[in-house]
Chains A and B, each alone.
Chain A
Amino acid sequence: MLFFSFFKTLTQQTVTVELKNDISIRGTLKSVDQYLNIKLDDIVVLDELKYPHLSSVKNVFIRGSVVRYVHLPPDKVDRGLLEDACRREAMAQKGKAA
């Protein structure tokens, strides 16, 4: 659930989502859910000529399972915080397992 929460903090930021079929879509992150499905607003497709079908589309719902990367604005990511949270979650998991 860590990354779900993490993505929730990034709503309203401009991100680029790269899909497993190589399409890259840039837009404003509107929402994310437990499967890391992503909703983007005001989208721009990089390399539009190659992917003409999205020309009349303004916002998209992307299924989490087909996402390869999400490019994030570096200044909006608190890496220390993320590392901390990761350790915390790992500890919690360990505690549960024991």
Chain B
Amino acid sequence: MENLSLNDPPPSSPQRQPNAVLPGVPSQGPPQLPPQMFTTAAQLLDLTDKKLLLVLRDGRKIFGILRSWDQFANLVLTETRERYFVSIPGSTSTDALSATASKDAPTLSANTSLSTSTLPRNMYCDIPRGTYLVRGENVLLLGEVDLDRDDDPPPGYELGDVEEVFRLHRAIELEKKRKDKIRARKIGQLWGGEIEGSGEVLF
């Protein structure tokens, strides 16, 4: 990799034009910043070896330390923990949910656990996952964790039992998948033929 630092002068171009794309127009804002500031490398360089939150396109949230990356945002994270969030709505809506679930799919036993609680509850849990190598196209965003706020639980959420949160999360995912499948089938009937990629849940 090139060893550029942000303080280096721009590459030896003959006296940079004020604005390459909008010629003849004085550029606004802070255009005097060196061009190597505006590369993927520069953006990710600041985040290297820091504790980050990685959100994937399938909705997974992974906390870990960024160790390596390239221009496509292919990433390596170490010491990762995957964080699961579940929201259990209050009694009225849970009944509605389990009622529809049992009407549509009587065998969906995973959902019965949702109706046992009556108060709305928001829980999260962390599960250690080791090292991740992520292909760039699956990356949604990377956030730098504020270490001062890292130990606080997310507002409105409490740390739940790993087993329980994991089970509820899975039940909710299954339910979502089932609904998506029904929707895809209906769309397929309307438009003729399945839409490409409609079987999997993206984002």
Cβ contact within 8 Å between B61 and A53 = yes
Cβ contact within 8 Å between A8 and B53 = no
- Specify which of A9, A21, A49, A57 is in contact with B143 (CB 8 Å cutoff): A57
- Specify which of A5, A43, A56, A89 is in contact with B154 (CB 8 Å cutoff): A56
The answer to whether residues A61 and B140 also contact, given A5-B20, A9-B29, A52-B124 and a CB cut-off of 8 A, is no
Query: Taking the complex as formed, is B55 at the interface, i.e. its CB lies under 8 A from any CB of chain A?
Result: yes
Complex interface: chain B residues within 8 A of A20 (CB): 203
Size of the B side of the interface (Cβ < 8 Å), in residues, is 48
A73 vs B124: C-alpha distance when bound (angstroms): 36
Cβ contact within 8 Å between A63 and B136 = yes
Name the prevailing secondary structure of the A interface residues: mixed
Q: Which residue of B has the minimal Cβ distance to A6?
A: B21
Complex interface: chain A residues within 8 A of B95 (CB): none
Cβ contact within 8 Å between B38 and A32 = yes
Cβ contact within 8 Å between B47 and A61 = yes
Complex interface: chain A residues within 8 A of B83 (CB): 53
- Specify which of B23, B31, B142 is in contact with A60 (CB 8 Å cutoff): B142
Query: Taking the complex as formed, is B25 at the interface, i.e. its CB lies under 8 A from any CB of chain A?
Result: yes
Interface string of B185-203 (1 = CB under 8 A from A): 0000000000000000001
A59 vs B136: C-alpha distance when bound (angstroms): 19
Complex interface: chain B residues within 8 A of A35 (CB): 40
Complex interface: chain B residues within 8 A of A63 (CB): 73, 136, 139-141
- Specify which of B22, B39, B142 is in contact with A81 (CB 8 Å cutoff): B22
Query: Taking the complex as formed, is A78 at the interface, i.e. its CB lies under 8 A from any CB of chain B?
Result: yes
Query: Taking the complex as formed, is B108 at the interface, i.e. its CB lies under 8 A from any CB of chain A?
Result: no
Spot the interface stretch: B8-16, B99-107, B109-117, B144-152.
Answer: B144-152
Most A C-beta atoms less than 10 A away, residue of B31, B38, B124, B137: B38
A28 vs B28: C-alpha distance when bound (angstroms): 17
A10 vs B65: C-alpha distance when bound (angstroms): 30
Cβ contact within 8 Å between B21 and A59 = no
9 A-B pairs within 8 Å (CB atoms) are namely A4-B38, A9-B29, A9-B31, A31-B37, A34-B39, A52-B155, A55-B149, A56-B154, A57-B143
